[in-house]
Amino acid sequence: MPKNMKVLFAASEALPFASTGGLADVIGSLPSALVRNGVDARVVIPCYSSIKHKNSSDITYLCDFTVKLAWRNQYCGLFTAVSNGITFYLIDNEYYFNRQSLYGSYDDGERFAFFCKAVLDMLPRIDFFPDILHTNDWQAALSGIYLKQIYRHGDQRYRPIRVVHSIHNIEFQGIFDHAILGDVFDLPSQLASIVDYNGCINLTKGAIVCCDRLTTVSPTYAKEIRSPSFAFGLQHIINQYSFKTVGIINGIDQDYYNPETDQTIVHRYSSPEGKAKNKLALQHELGLAENVNTPMISMITRLTSQKGLDLVTAVIDEFLCDDVQFVLLGTGDPGFESFFRRLEEKHPSKVRSIIAYDKALSKKIYASSDIFLMPSKTEPCGLAQMIASRYGTVPVVRETGGLYDTVKYYNDVTGDGNGFTFSRYNAHDMLYTLRKAVGLYRDFRDKWNELADKIMKIDFSWNVSAYRYTELYRDVLSLER
């Protein structure tokens, strides 16, 4: 077994370079935690044009080569950068990655197939053959599939590499028409059965079949995705391969999310009392009534129904009869975007809906609000509830996936628990729970501050989980070749 394990993470986004959600947080922070455990962890992501524009002075050109994808011979530029002590490799191709958004193009399948091939073709150029290739979500899935089915039968240096695949959200599986198996994915028809599922190509299914270990991002989600209610059709495969599946809870980067040192917030603080100045500043910035005692409830989220927004839209008008302020930051489904814009028009003194993706503003909101609402229908892990806690903002969540694993109901007699939770996917259960939280804030401020103080001190760092990943990698490397 190698002394310094080498692990290469392949993913479609990572902080601080490109981010649309929790995956970027994880890929931007887990590798640093592994390095602290003595692992040589590195990351490869696509070099989206936004990265080149924003970080031009921080990234260095390494080399270029040609990637063969079926009949195409495509240019691939390779850049490198160091962030948080981690070496990043950036796969460049203007045709594939100079787009308005990271995802949502008609040719996403081809774009990420190119990325996955380039990841493997890059290895001899950087003279880094990892012990573990850790692929994340469907966009990186083909790297593991190509490695196990094709590359390891060619150049001997690919042969020992083990593959760990992580599912960050099983809703997104990478489903494509069979017609593009050879023409776009460059897979011979003999390999069709590896990726075939329900009459389509399913890249997540292919990754599950090919990987040595499958992980998902919380123990509860690992159990949930065995059932049809959570698996978006993939439950048979998840059950078939449960012997290689494990759920490991995500952590957050507690240095990046640290109210004591965070330069993006107005007033830095180490106890909940310090939130007041931030709240007043945010109320001022957003044009809300400046009153430190008005409970401020926030949501920072992708606007999709997975996040429980159907519950919110059903009862928010009722909730806004109370003396509260509601601040939402998010982008996503146009229907939800216009709902929240209209909500602000209807309740201009109480609601601000900021339809944007804005990391700096998100931190101001975490630092200013009192209650963080996350009523998800499903939640693989959820990072926002942990980030909110770090800033002393009490989470109100539905008991599912990682929310169930990280938030326990607060008992105002014993002081146990770290938030407010409800179980059924029911709008009035959510409203009742939200009102319980507001009631504690309003009527028992001492207890509230004790709770807020306690949650700021919870260890949501990567320490424990990075250790578990290190053990998992060791375990995988001890498998017979």
**Which of the ranges 150-158, 308-316, 324-332, 453-461 carries the binding residues for ligand ADP, by CB under 6 A?**
324-332
Between CA 206 and CA 83 the distance in angstroms is 31
Contact string (CB under 6 A) for ligand ADP, positions 362-391, x = contact: x------------------xxxx--x----
**3-class secondary-structure state, position 320:** coil
* 397 lies in the binding site for ligand ADP (CB under 6 A): no
**Minimum CB separation from ligand ADP for residue 340, in Å?**
12
**Minimum CB separation from ligand ADP for residue 415, in Å?**
26
Between CA 169 and CA 304 the distance in angstroms is 13
Q: How far is CA 170 from CA 137, 230, 263, 306, 411, in A?
A: 8, 8, 35, 11, 33
* 359 lies in the binding site for ligand ADP (CB under 6 A): yes
* 358 lies in the binding site for ligand ADP (CB under 6 A): yes
Q: How far is CA 325 from CA 38, 243, 347, 366, 457, in A?
A: 46, 47, 10, 14, 26
Q: State which residue, 16 or 182, has the beta carbon closest to ligand ADP.
A: 16
Q: State which residue, 252 or 466, has the beta carbon closest to ligand ADP.
A: 252
Q: Which of 480, 156, 160, 427 is nearest to 310 (CA)?
A: 427
Sorted by sequence, the CB contacts under 8 Å of residue 424 that are 6+ apart come out as: none
Segment 146 to 175, residues that bind ligand ADP, using CB under 6 A: none
Q: State which residue, 292 or 360, has the beta carbon closest to ligand ADP.
A: 360
| Paired tokens of 101 | 């958004």
* 300 lies in the binding site for ligand ADP (CB under 6 A): yes
Contact string (CB under 6 A) for ligand ADP, positions 8-47, x = contact: -------------xx--x----------------------
Number of residues that bind ligand ADP (CB under 6 A): 18
| Paired tokens of 1 | 């077994």
Contact 422, 433 (CB under 8 A): yes
Q: State which residue, 119 or 383, has the beta carbon closest to ligand ADP.
A: 383
Q: How far is CA 335 from the centre of its chain?
A: 23
Q: State which residue, 93 or 136, has the beta carbon closest to ligand ADP.
A: 136
End-to-end CA distance of the chain: 12
**Minimum CB separation from ligand ADP for residue 381, in Å?**
6
Between CA 416 and CA 424 the distance in angstroms is 22
Which residue, judged by CB position, is nearest to ligand ADP in the bound state? 22
* 258 lies in the binding site for ligand ADP (CB under 6 A): no
**Minimum CB separation from ligand ADP for residue 455, in Å?**
16
Q: Which of 50, 331, 449, 461 binds ligand ADP (CB under 6 A)?
A: 331
Q: How far is CA 115 from CA 90, 138, 365, in A?
A: 10, 12, 35
Contact 417, 411 (CB under 8 A): yes
Buried b (16+ CB within 10 A) or exposed e, 80-110: bbebeebbbbbbbbeebbebeebeeeeebbb
Q: Which of 232, 357, 409, 425 binds ligand ADP (CB under 6 A)?
A: 357
Class of residue 425 by CB neighbours under 10 A (exposed 0-12, middle 13-18, buried 19+): middle
**3-class secondary-structure state, position 134:** strand
**Minimum CB separation from ligand ADP for residue 389, in Å?**
12
**Minimum CB separation from ligand ADP for residue 156, in Å?**
38
Q: State which residue, 16 or 21, has the beta carbon closest to ligand ADP.
A: 21
| Paired tokens of 410 | 């607060």
**Minimum CB separation from ligand ADP for residue 33, in Å?**
16
* 329 lies in the binding site for ligand ADP (CB under 6 A): yes
**Minimum CB separation from ligand ADP for residue 102, in Å?**
13
Q: State which residue, 191 or 397, has the beta carbon closest to ligand ADP.
A: 397
**Minimum CB separation from ligand ADP for residue 62, in Å?**
30
Contact 297, 434 (CB under 8 A): yes
Q: State which residue, 50 or 449, has the beta carbon closest to ligand ADP.
A: 50
Class of residue 279 by CB neighbours under 10 A (exposed 0-12, middle 13-18, buried 19+): buried
> Alpha helices, DSSP H only, in 308-444?
309-319, 334-346, 359-368, 384-390, 401-406, 427-443
Contact string (CB under 6 A) for ligand ADP, positions 98-137, x = contact: ----------------------------------------
**Minimum CB separation from ligand ADP for residue 236, in Å?**
24
Q: Which of 136, 301, 368, 406 binds ligand ADP (CB under 6 A)?
A: 301
Residues that bind ligand ADP (CB under 6 A): 21-22, 25, 300-302, 329-331, 357-359, 362, 381-384, 387
